[in-house]
Amino acid sequence: MDIDRRSAATAVLPAPAATADADRRFYRHRLPVRVMHWINVVCLTVLLMSGLNIFNAHPALYWGQGSTFDKPWISMRAEDTPAGPIGKTHFAGHDFVTTGVLGLSSHDGAPTARGFPSWATIPGAQWLAMARHWHFFFAWIFVINGICYVLYSLFSRHLVRDLVPTMDELRRIGQSIRDHVRFRHPTGEAAKRYNVLQSLTYLIVVFGLLPLVIVAGLAMSPRLNSVYPGWVELLGGRQSARSLHFLAASGLLLFVLIHVFEVIVAGVWNEMRSMITGWYVLPSEPAQQEARK
Protein backbone atom coordinates (compact mmCIF):
# COMPACT_ATOMS: atom_id res chain seq x y z
CA MET A 1 0.00 0.00 0.00
CA ASP A 2 2.84 2.40 0.90
CA ILE A 3 4.60 1.48 -2.32
CA ASP A 4 1.46 2.33 -4.32
CA ARG A 5 1.15 5.76 -2.66
CA ARG A 6 4.80 6.52 -3.34
CA SER A 7 4.36 5.47 -6.97
CA ALA A 8 1.30 7.68 -7.35
CA ALA A 9 3.09 10.66 -5.81
CA THR A 10 6.03 10.11 -8.10
CA ALA A 11 3.75 9.89 -11.13
CA VAL A 12 2.29 13.37 -10.67
CA LEU A 13 5.64 15.10 -10.22
CA PRO A 14 6.55 17.15 -13.31
CA ALA A 15 9.59 16.22 -15.31
CA PRO A 16 12.64 18.18 -14.11
CA ALA A 17 13.59 19.32 -17.63
CA ALA A 18 10.05 20.53 -18.39
CA THR A 19 9.87 22.39 -15.08
CA ALA A 20 13.24 24.03 -15.69
CA ASP A 21 12.20 25.16 -19.18
CA ALA A 22 8.93 26.57 -17.83
CA ASP A 23 10.81 28.49 -15.14
CA ARG A 24 13.10 30.03 -17.77
CA ARG A 25 10.35 31.07 -20.20
CA PHE A 26 10.48 34.77 -20.93
CA TYR A 27 8.04 36.88 -22.98
CA ARG A 28 10.62 38.46 -25.25
CA HIS A 29 8.80 40.03 -28.20
CA ARG A 30 5.43 41.75 -28.01
CA LEU A 31 2.82 41.18 -30.71
CA PRO A 32 3.32 44.50 -32.61
CA VAL A 33 7.07 43.87 -32.87
CA ARG A 34 6.50 40.33 -34.17
CA VAL A 35 3.93 41.41 -36.76
CA MET A 36 6.11 44.25 -38.05
CA HIS A 37 9.16 41.96 -38.13
CA TRP A 38 7.45 39.46 -40.45
CA ILE A 39 6.06 42.24 -42.66
CA ASN A 40 9.66 43.43 -43.02
CA VAL A 41 10.80 39.91 -43.94
CA VAL A 42 8.30 39.76 -46.82
CA CYS A 43 8.94 43.33 -47.96
CA LEU A 44 12.73 43.08 -47.88
CA THR A 45 12.69 39.81 -49.83
CA VAL A 46 10.47 41.22 -52.58
CA LEU A 47 12.29 44.57 -52.66
CA LEU A 48 15.70 42.93 -52.96
CA MET A 49 14.77 40.51 -55.73
CA SER A 50 12.65 42.97 -57.71
CA GLY A 51 15.39 45.58 -57.24
CA LEU A 52 17.94 43.23 -58.82
CA ASN A 53 15.57 42.80 -61.77
CA ILE A 54 15.43 46.59 -62.18
CA PHE A 55 19.21 46.83 -61.83
CA ASN A 56 19.68 44.28 -64.61
CA ALA A 57 18.16 46.73 -67.10
CA HIS A 58 21.45 48.66 -66.79
CA PRO A 59 23.94 46.75 -64.61
CA ALA A 60 26.35 49.61 -63.93
CA LEU A 61 26.58 52.38 -61.34
CA TYR A 62 28.07 55.88 -61.45
CA TRP A 63 28.65 58.93 -59.27
CA GLY A 64 27.26 62.35 -60.12
CA GLN A 65 24.27 63.61 -62.06
CA GLY A 66 24.77 61.75 -65.35
CA SER A 67 25.86 58.32 -66.53
CA THR A 68 29.52 58.38 -67.56
CA PHE A 69 29.29 55.12 -69.45
CA ASP A 70 33.05 54.70 -69.79
CA LYS A 71 33.69 55.23 -66.05
CA PRO A 72 31.33 53.15 -63.89
CA TRP A 73 32.61 52.38 -60.41
CA ILE A 74 30.95 48.97 -60.71
CA SER A 75 29.53 47.16 -63.73
CA MET A 76 28.64 43.66 -64.85
CA ARG A 77 28.95 42.54 -68.45
CA ALA A 78 29.50 39.59 -70.77
CA GLU A 79 32.54 39.34 -73.04
CA ASP A 80 33.33 37.06 -75.97
CA THR A 81 36.65 35.20 -75.75
CA PRO A 82 38.26 32.50 -77.94
CA ALA A 83 37.14 30.00 -75.29
CA GLY A 84 33.57 31.31 -75.34
CA PRO A 85 31.59 34.02 -73.54
CA ILE A 86 32.49 34.89 -69.97
CA GLY A 87 30.99 37.14 -67.31
CA LYS A 88 33.02 40.01 -65.90
CA THR A 89 32.50 42.36 -62.99
CA HIS A 90 34.33 45.68 -62.98
CA PHE A 91 34.96 47.13 -59.52
CA ALA A 92 37.38 49.80 -58.26
CA GLY A 93 39.30 49.84 -61.55
CA HIS A 94 39.76 46.06 -61.74
CA ASP A 95 37.99 43.32 -63.72
CA PHE A 96 37.03 40.01 -62.14
CA VAL A 97 35.76 36.91 -63.93
CA THR A 98 32.36 36.11 -62.42
CA THR A 99 30.91 33.74 -65.01
CA GLY A 100 27.83 31.88 -63.80
CA VAL A 101 26.93 34.48 -61.17
CA LEU A 102 27.46 38.04 -62.38
CA GLY A 103 27.63 39.31 -65.96
CA LEU A 104 26.86 35.96 -67.58
CA SER A 105 24.66 33.23 -66.14
CA SER A 106 22.48 30.39 -67.32
CA HIS A 107 18.83 31.02 -68.19
CA ASP A 108 16.65 28.28 -69.72
CA GLY A 109 19.78 26.21 -70.19
CA ALA A 110 21.67 28.82 -72.20
CA PRO A 111 24.34 31.34 -71.11
CA THR A 112 22.74 34.79 -71.00
CA ALA A 113 24.28 38.23 -70.57
CA ARG A 114 22.70 39.72 -67.43
CA GLY A 115 23.82 41.44 -64.25
CA PHE A 116 22.41 39.11 -61.61
CA PRO A 117 21.25 35.52 -62.33
CA SER A 118 17.59 34.83 -63.07
CA TRP A 119 17.08 32.84 -59.84
CA ALA A 120 17.76 36.04 -57.87
CA THR A 121 15.16 38.19 -59.65
CA ILE A 122 11.37 38.44 -59.47
CA PRO A 123 8.71 38.51 -60.84
CA GLY A 124 10.57 36.98 -63.78
CA ALA A 125 13.96 36.62 -65.37
CA GLN A 126 13.72 39.95 -67.20
CA TRP A 127 10.52 41.93 -66.71
CA LEU A 128 11.40 45.54 -65.94
CA ALA A 129 7.90 47.05 -65.99
CA MET A 130 6.35 44.51 -63.62
CA ALA A 131 9.44 44.49 -61.38
CA ARG A 132 9.02 48.26 -60.96
CA HIS A 133 5.35 47.79 -60.00
CA TRP A 134 6.27 45.16 -57.40
CA HIS A 135 9.15 47.25 -56.10
CA PHE A 136 7.12 50.43 -55.63
CA PHE A 137 4.12 48.64 -54.08
CA PHE A 138 6.16 46.81 -51.45
CA ALA A 139 8.35 49.88 -50.91
CA TRP A 140 5.33 51.84 -49.65
CA ILE A 141 4.27 48.96 -47.39
CA PHE A 142 7.84 48.88 -46.08
CA VAL A 143 7.87 52.65 -45.43
CA ILE A 144 4.49 52.60 -43.64
CA ASN A 145 5.57 49.60 -41.57
CA GLY A 146 8.82 51.37 -40.68
CA ILE A 147 6.99 54.50 -39.54
CA CYS A 148 4.67 52.35 -37.40
CA TYR A 149 7.69 50.62 -35.86
CA VAL A 150 9.42 53.90 -34.96
CA LEU A 151 6.21 55.32 -33.45
CA TYR A 152 5.57 52.13 -31.49
CA SER A 153 9.18 52.07 -30.27
CA LEU A 154 8.90 55.64 -29.04
CA PHE A 155 5.50 55.45 -27.33
CA SER A 156 5.99 51.98 -25.82
CA ARG A 157 9.52 52.89 -24.70
CA HIS A 158 10.81 49.87 -26.64
CA LEU A 159 13.49 52.16 -28.07
CA VAL A 160 14.82 53.36 -24.71
CA ARG A 161 14.19 50.12 -22.81
CA ASP A 162 15.50 47.59 -25.33
CA LEU A 163 17.55 49.29 -28.06
CA VAL A 164 19.55 52.15 -26.57
CA PRO A 165 22.61 50.65 -24.81
CA THR A 166 23.58 51.81 -21.34
CA MET A 167 26.96 53.39 -20.59
CA ASP A 168 27.99 50.21 -18.77
CA GLU A 169 27.17 48.14 -21.87
CA LEU A 170 29.13 50.53 -24.10
CA ARG A 171 32.15 50.17 -21.85
CA ARG A 172 31.96 46.38 -22.31
CA ILE A 173 31.70 46.48 -26.11
CA GLY A 174 35.16 44.92 -26.45
CA GLN A 175 34.10 41.89 -24.43
CA SER A 176 30.91 41.63 -26.50
CA ILE A 177 32.97 41.54 -29.70
CA ARG A 178 35.20 38.81 -28.28
CA ASP A 179 32.15 36.79 -27.21
CA HIS A 180 30.64 37.02 -30.69
CA VAL A 181 33.89 35.95 -32.34
CA ARG A 182 33.93 32.90 -30.05
CA PHE A 183 30.19 32.25 -30.63
CA ARG A 184 29.45 32.81 -26.95
CA HIS A 185 25.93 34.10 -26.41
CA PRO A 186 24.35 35.58 -23.25
CA THR A 187 22.74 33.15 -20.80
CA GLY A 188 20.36 33.51 -17.88
CA GLU A 189 19.21 37.04 -17.04
CA ALA A 190 21.66 38.59 -19.54
CA ALA A 191 19.74 36.96 -22.40
CA LYS A 192 16.63 39.01 -21.57
CA ARG A 193 18.18 42.10 -23.15
CA TYR A 194 19.84 42.75 -26.49
CA ASN A 195 23.61 42.76 -26.16
CA VAL A 196 25.43 45.98 -27.01
CA LEU A 197 26.38 44.89 -30.55
CA GLN A 198 22.77 43.97 -31.30
CA SER A 199 21.52 47.29 -29.97
CA LEU A 200 24.02 49.37 -31.94
CA THR A 201 23.41 47.36 -35.12
CA TYR A 202 19.63 47.75 -34.89
CA LEU A 203 20.01 51.51 -34.28
CA ILE A 204 22.30 51.86 -37.32
CA VAL A 205 19.89 49.88 -39.49
CA VAL A 206 16.68 51.59 -38.30
CA PHE A 207 17.99 55.16 -38.22
CA GLY A 208 20.79 54.93 -40.79
CA LEU A 209 20.51 52.35 -43.57
CA LEU A 210 16.71 52.30 -43.85
CA PRO A 211 16.26 56.10 -44.15
CA LEU A 212 19.16 56.21 -46.64
CA VAL A 213 17.74 53.48 -48.89
CA ILE A 214 14.33 55.19 -48.85
CA VAL A 215 15.57 58.73 -49.52
CA ALA A 216 17.99 57.55 -52.23
CA GLY A 217 15.17 55.57 -53.83
CA LEU A 218 12.89 58.62 -53.87
CA ALA A 219 15.73 60.70 -55.35
CA MET A 220 15.66 58.54 -58.50
CA SER A 221 12.10 59.71 -59.25
CA PRO A 222 12.06 62.53 -61.87
CA ARG A 223 8.56 63.48 -60.69
CA LEU A 224 9.67 64.19 -57.14
CA ASN A 225 12.65 66.16 -58.39
CA SER A 226 10.36 68.31 -60.54
CA VAL A 227 7.98 68.96 -57.64
CA TYR A 228 10.80 69.79 -55.22
CA PRO A 229 13.70 70.84 -57.50
CA GLY A 230 17.26 70.82 -56.25
CA TRP A 231 17.04 68.40 -53.33
CA VAL A 232 18.50 65.48 -55.31
CA GLU A 233 21.76 67.41 -55.61
CA LEU A 234 22.14 67.05 -51.84
CA LEU A 235 22.89 63.39 -52.54
CA GLY A 236 25.30 64.26 -55.34
CA GLY A 237 22.89 63.83 -58.26
CA ARG A 238 20.55 61.13 -59.56
CA GLN A 239 23.29 58.65 -60.43
CA SER A 240 24.87 59.13 -57.00
CA ALA A 241 21.44 58.47 -55.49
CA ARG A 242 21.22 55.22 -57.48
CA SER A 243 24.65 54.18 -56.18
CA LEU A 244 23.74 55.08 -52.60
CA HIS A 245 20.49 53.12 -52.96
CA PHE A 246 22.45 50.08 -54.13
CA LEU A 247 25.04 50.38 -51.33
CA ALA A 248 22.39 50.83 -48.63
CA ALA A 249 20.49 47.82 -49.96
CA SER A 250 23.73 45.82 -49.93
CA GLY A 251 24.24 46.86 -46.31
CA LEU A 252 20.74 45.63 -45.46
CA LEU A 253 21.44 42.33 -47.19
CA LEU A 254 24.65 41.94 -45.19
CA PHE A 255 22.72 42.67 -42.00
CA VAL A 256 20.10 40.05 -42.88
CA LEU A 257 22.73 37.40 -43.63
CA ILE A 258 24.52 38.03 -40.32
CA HIS A 259 21.18 38.12 -38.50
CA VAL A 260 20.15 34.73 -39.94
CA PHE A 261 23.58 33.28 -39.13
CA GLU A 262 23.29 34.46 -35.51
CA VAL A 263 19.81 32.92 -35.25
CA ILE A 264 21.22 29.58 -36.42
CA VAL A 265 24.17 29.75 -34.02
CA ALA A 266 22.05 30.85 -31.03
CA GLY A 267 19.41 28.14 -31.60
CA VAL A 268 16.95 28.22 -34.50
CA TRP A 269 13.90 26.82 -32.71
CA ASN A 270 14.20 29.03 -29.63
CA GLU A 271 14.80 32.18 -31.69
CA MET A 272 12.04 31.42 -34.22
CA ARG A 273 9.56 30.54 -31.47
CA SER A 274 10.22 33.85 -29.74
CA MET A 275 9.48 35.78 -32.95
CA ILE A 276 6.32 33.75 -33.65
CA THR A 277 4.79 33.29 -30.19
CA GLY A 278 6.78 35.85 -28.21
CA TRP A 279 8.05 33.24 -25.73
CA TYR A 280 11.77 32.61 -25.37
CA VAL A 281 13.48 30.05 -23.14
CA LEU A 282 16.46 31.66 -21.43
CA PRO A 283 19.69 29.69 -22.02
CA SER A 284 20.97 28.14 -18.80
CA GLU A 285 23.90 29.60 -16.92
CA PRO A 286 27.06 27.45 -17.17
CA ALA A 287 26.69 26.44 -13.50
CA GLN A 288 23.11 25.30 -14.09
CA GLN A 289 24.19 23.28 -17.12
CA GLU A 290 26.84 21.51 -15.04
CA ALA A 291 24.29 20.81 -12.26
CA ARG A 292 21.96 19.19 -14.80
CA LYS A 293 24.72 16.87 -15.90
Confirm if 261 and 6 have CB atoms less than 8 A apart: no
Tell me the chain's radius of gyration from C-alpha atoms: 25
Does pTM top 0.85 for this prediction? no
Q: Each residue's pLDDT tens digit in the chain (293 positions)? A: 444 444 444 444 445 544 555 557 888 889 999 999 999 999 999 999 999 999 999 999 999 887 777 789 999 999 999 988 999 999 988 999 999 999 999 888 888 999 999 999 999 888 899 999 999 999 999 999 999 999 999 999 888 888 888 888 888 888 888 888 888 877 777 777 788 888 999 999 999 999 999 999 999 888 887 888 888 899 999 999 999 999 999 999 999 999 999 899 888 999 999 999 999 888 776 544 444 44
Q: What are phi and psi of 78, to 5 degrees?
A: -110, 145
Identify the pLDDT of residue 189: 73
